[in-house]
C-alpha cells in the first residue's frame, strides 16, 4: 500500500544548469552530481547547493512546533525510540545570480517512522499514536545555513522505500514565505546492514526497495544520503539550494 504522494517540484533545466555554472567564479563546484537523465558523457557538473526534486509531504506531517535537535524521544514521557543513531545536517542555500549563499533563520522540520515503520501522532489503519510526538522536530538554520538533528535510522512500511521527510520554511512567520518539502533516501546496501539489528530485524525483510518505489523514481537519485559510520552510529550531510524568487 502506497501511503505517500508524488513529486511536485521542478529540477533545473539543462539551460538553467549551464547558466548557473557559467557565471565566472560564482559557482563553487563541490559536492557535484550528474544531471538527471544524462549519460556519463553529457552529464552536467552541478554545485552542491543545486536545486533538488520536491516531493509532497505525505499523510503523516503534523506541525508540532517542537524546536529541538534531538528528535528521538516522546516529550510527554521522555521515552527514547530504539534504533541506530543517525546524525543529520542539512545545509540550506539560496541560488541567485549564479551564486549560492547560506540561508540563515530558515525552519527545517524533520519527521519519519520508527524502527518498526510507525509514525507518531497519527491515526493509521495499522496503528494509532495520537498524542505521541517521537521522531518529529524542527531546527532553525544557523549563519552557515545548517540545521542539525540527532535521530535514528528509519525502519520501513509496505509500499515505501526507507526514507525521511523534511520541510524547509524560509520565513515560517510570514504569510508568503517560501516553502520546500521533500524526502531523503538511503543506500540499499547500508540499509541491509542496519536492518539486521534490533529493533528493525523483528519486522523482517522490507518489501519495497528504492527501485520499486514510485516516489523514489521521480528524482530520488538526487535525494540520496551518503551516510558514513560514526562513533554514535551514522552521520550524513545533505546540501540543498532553493530558488526563492
Per the model's pLDDT, the better-predicted residue between 173 and 220 turns out to be 220
Domains of the chain by residue range: 14-242
Per the model's pLDDT, the better-predicted residue between 28 and 102 turns out to be 102
**pLDDT band per the 50, 70, 90 thresholds, residue 96:** confident
Nearest to 199 by CA among 117, 119, 74, 83: 83
Does the pLDDT of residue 90 top 50, yes or no?
Answer: yes
Does the pLDDT of residue 188 top 90, yes or no?
Answer: yes
pTM of the model: 0.82
Question: Which one of 2.60.120.260, 3.90.1150.10, 2.40.128.720, 2.60.130.10 gives the CATH number of domain 14-242?
Answer: 2.60.130.10
Q: Can you list the positions of beta strands (E) in 47-106?
A: 85-96, 99-102
Amino acid at each position: 500500500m502506497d501511503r505517500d504522494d508524488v513529486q511536485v517540484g521542478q529540477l533545473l533545466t539543462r539551460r538553467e544548469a549551464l547558466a548557473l555554472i557559467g557565471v565566472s567564479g560564482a559557482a563553487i563546484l563541490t559536492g557535484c552530481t550528474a544531471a538527471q537523465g544524462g549519460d556519463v558523457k553529457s552529464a552536467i557538473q552541478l554545485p552542491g547547493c543545486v536545486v533538488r526534486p520536491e516531493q509532497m509531504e505525505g499523510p503523516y506531517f503534523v506541525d508540532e512546533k517542537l524546536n529541538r535537535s534531538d528528535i528521538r524521544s516522546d516529550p510527554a514521557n521522555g521515552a527514547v525510540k530504539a534504533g541506530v543513531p543517525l546524525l543529520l545536517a542539512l545545509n540550506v542555500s539560496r541560488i541567485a545570480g549564479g551564486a549560492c549563499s547560506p540561508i540563515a533563520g530558515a525552519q527545517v522540520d524533520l519527521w519519519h517512522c520508527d524502527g518498526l515503520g510507525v509514525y507518531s501522532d497519527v491515526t493509521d489503519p495499522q496503528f494509532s499514536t495520537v498524542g505521541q510526538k517521537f521522531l518529529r522536530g524542527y531546527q532553525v538554520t544557523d549563519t552557515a545555513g545548517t540545521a542539525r538533528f540527532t535521530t535514528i535510522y528509519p525502519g520501513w512500511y509496505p509500499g515505501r522505500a526507507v526514507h525521511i521527510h523534511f520541510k524547509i520554511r524560509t520565513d515560517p512567520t510570514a504569510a508568503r514565505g517560501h516553502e520546500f518539502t521533500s524526502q531523503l533516501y538511503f543506500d540499499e546496501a547500508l540499509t541491509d546492514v542496519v536492518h539486521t539489528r534490533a529493533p528493525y530485524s523483528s519486522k523482517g525483510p522490507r518489501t519495497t526497495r528504492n527501485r520499486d518505489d514510485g516516489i523514489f523514481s521521480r528524482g530520488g537519485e538526487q535525494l540520496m544520503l551518503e551516510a558514513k559510520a560514526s562513533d554514535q552510529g551514522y552521520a550524513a550531510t545533505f546540501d540543498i539550494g532553493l530558488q526563492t524568487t
